[in-house]
Structure 1
Amino acid sequence: MNLKDFIRDIPDFPKPGIIFKDVTPMLKDPGAFKVCISSLKELVKDFEFNLIVAPEARGFIFAAPLALELEKGFVPIRKPGKLPYKTVSVEYSLEYGTATLEMHTDAIKEGDKVLIVDDVLATGGTMKAIAEMVEKVGGTISGIVSLVELSFLEPRKKLSGYEVRSIITY
């Protein structure tokens, strides 16, 4: 099954000049979604980690079932004001602006080995910000994985020093 067949381009979203890679058709097809999670599982089989972190919202969709499959913990990374406990935050640049992400201060402890998962790796800004936040609280990044990588935006430049893997590259 070619997972690219389940990703559509949405021009000028979320703003003019951006071509958004929409993964929702994949989610609608249980066979494609299953292949996606199986592919992610295969992609990370040689990483050593005890936690998976992912940013809302689409990162959750792929990271949570992967965490269940691998029997690992899952840590949600949220937008400001969405988590009820004390948080650590980081501001970062997107391909189309800036944003802030937060996680609970006690979500990751010293020595935790963390895998970062998201749906799309674009500029690398989100993944870099998450990595910095994880490291700030004592975690170690074991790897960074995504379903889709937009290589023409050169995200790996921002993520040098980390092992980065993707299933689909544009």
Structure 2
Amino acid sequence: MDQLQRSLLESPIVEKGEYHYFVHPISDGVPMLEPSLLREIVIKIIRKARLENVDKIVTPAAMGIHISTAVSLMTDIPLVVIRKREYGLEGETPLFQETGYSESQMFINDVDEGDNVLVLDDVLSTGGTLSAICAALEDIGANIVDVVAVIKKVEGTNELDESAYSAKTLINVTVEGGEVVIVDPTGDD
């Protein structure tokens, strides 16, 4: 069993309404993120993602930042963070993000028509964030080379399934009886 699997099995579960949310260093920054876990995840992403011809890594704030920064450092691919704050810069593109437990407006800067991008996020649950990001990138005219999420929560409706995009994942889990259960330890393409 690798470190990602072990850390997920040890994750506490909290409820946000009807949504069962696991608390994990990758998705929450709590408990602290051990460098060895981050390193393991980054190596898995680099092996799984299509990185050839990628001009930019695109990630939503906030929990995609640490993963994407590490991937950027290892691949020398520049990083674009989708922010929850509007800056009013030329070319800024707004998008509306809705997840199983929140909704918000986000803003993309520094992605241009024709850019080849890797979309990278921590968790794919409802698909609301990734589907909104992919739609906004498509509106900009960027080419989405690949979409990768570290962890996929498999139960429920996934909006990304209804789009033209799919996400590669490193591990697929569900929450049953107040515990994380590993459905697929290697994720899926």
TM-score relative to the length of structure 2: 0.78
Q: Which of residues 22, 41, 45 is equivalent to 1:40? A: 45
Structure-to-structure mapping, 1:1-170, within 5 angstroms: 1-7=2-8, 8-12=11-15, 15-24=16-25, 28-45=33-50, 48-81=53-86, 83=87, 85-86=89-90, 87-104=92-109, 107-155=110-158, 156-159=160-163, 161-170=164-173
Q: Which stretch has the larger CA shift, 25-34 or 72-81?
A: 25-34
Alpha-carbon offset, residue 67 of structure 1: 1.5
Q: SS of 2:132's equivalent?
A: helix
Structure 1 residue runs of 5 or longer lacking an equivalent are none
- Quickly say closer, same or farther: Cα 1:10–1:139, change in 2 above 3 A: same
Paired-residue identity, %: 22
Q: In 2, Cα distance between the equivalents of 1:117 and 1:67?
A: 11
Normalization by structure 1: what TM-score?
Answer: 0.86
> Which aligned segments of 4 or more residues in structure 1 are displaced greater than 3 angstroms?
45-48
Higher helix share: 1
5+ long unaligned stretches in structure 2? 174-189
Q: Which amino acid aligns with 1:136?
A: D
RMSD: 2.0
